[in-house]
Structure 1
């Protein structure tokens, strides 16, 4: 298995410098990761560093809270695409979901997806904030909103991905959406467990460590 092809090589720290982003991109080129994932203000820099390679550029939107207006999310997403992003990871409106205002959640995602067209949209559920039933409902809404992926976590909340949550997500989406696991995945053995249960992408800042440890070297 080519583990590198599953990895969104990620750096979303608010203190990340330009040099840090350039290093991230160099690592992505070296290991041929699927993408780099950066905050929207660094998309243009990442695009310049990635050049004409096959590495994609993912930008987060409404990150990490998901509580800003839909119009703000749309503006940020479209601007990121104009700067070179090829995928958008947006945070679901967690408060609206927990309020059971499902129509508002649906409109939020649907309008972003409509605005970005064929650009891949991953919706971050932030599973640590949700019950099992809320995870199921969020996945159902994402199907109706025509998102492309559901994603476990931002990595900025109480905890990250869990195998239990991914299994719930997989059972709910029934192949209609892909799944991205992120948050707390720091070694190749753990990453491969998530891939085995059905995720299509791993969001991680530890991609290089994964590729350099003994287990992943064999997979790579």
Structure 2
């Protein structure tokens, strides 16, 4: 979708992040309501919040995504699989797993690939995403991690958790996009806090955005479109 974007198109790329470890129930409620209000693709919640989120979002059209092995990726493969199965049983339909970052940096490709493949198999055909945590990696490791993600059968390769002191960059999104076939999509996550940043990630090749700033991004787009309309711009349907 290079070039121009409608509000509906941007909303359909967003996994609204509800992952802060200190969130109270009231704060989780607020974030889930934001996801429903703006009609984003999914709310990505903490594993312990999956069942609650499924109930609260029922009828909204917003899917429930959760994280696996989050945020460090160092739990065992068996633990990641068990975590996914519990989340599946509670109604999650998308799963964002963290790669074993140390194993990837160590060149333990077989371990990384098998870890991904086990989680993908447990997902049973539902959408699976692999978080590389790019702020810890050099370009070779990002490219190799992207290829291992594809070899493991995942649907997406994803930049970041947002909890490692760095987030998505346009250059890293482009590198990830260039490192996998069209069968694998790219999710930009971490630091995507405004409309311009969101559009830059999409134009670089991402097809999904992980952000807690959904209302800001979509609100900025709505305001720009309204401003275009007020000034008599020819095209007010997209940005």
- Give TM-score, length-normalised by structure 1: 0.96
Mark the CA change 1:92 to 1:144 in structure 2 (over 3 Å): closer, same or farther: same
1:181-202 deviation line (CA, Å, top 9, x unaligned): 0000100111011111211110
Give the match for residue 232 of structure 2.
none
Matches of 2:222 and 2:75 in 1, distance apart? 41
| Number of residue equivalences | 220
Q: RMSD of the alignment, in Å?
A: 1.3
Deviation at 1:216, TM superposition (A): 6.1
- Closer, same or farther: CA 20–108 of 1 in aligned 2, 3 Å: same
Structure 1 Cα separation of the partners of residues 133 and 83 of structure 2: 20
What corresponds to 2:176 in structure 1? Answer: 169
> Does residue 63 of the first structure (1) align with residue 70 of the second (2)?
yes
Residue of structure 1 aligned with 2:129, choices 122, 128, 141: 122
Structure 2, unmatched stretches of 5+, are 226-237
Partners of 1:164 and 1:23 lie apart in 2 by 33
Aligned residue runs from structure 1 range 18-167, under 5 A: 18-167=25-174
- Residue deviations 1:151-177 (CA, integer Å, cap 9, x gap): 000000121000001110011113120
Q: TM-score, normalised by structure 2?
A: 0.89
1:214 shift after superposition? 5.3
SS of 1:209's equivalent in the other structure is helix
Deviation at 1:52, TM superposition (A): 2.5
Residue 178, structure 1, aligned to residue 185, structure 2? yes
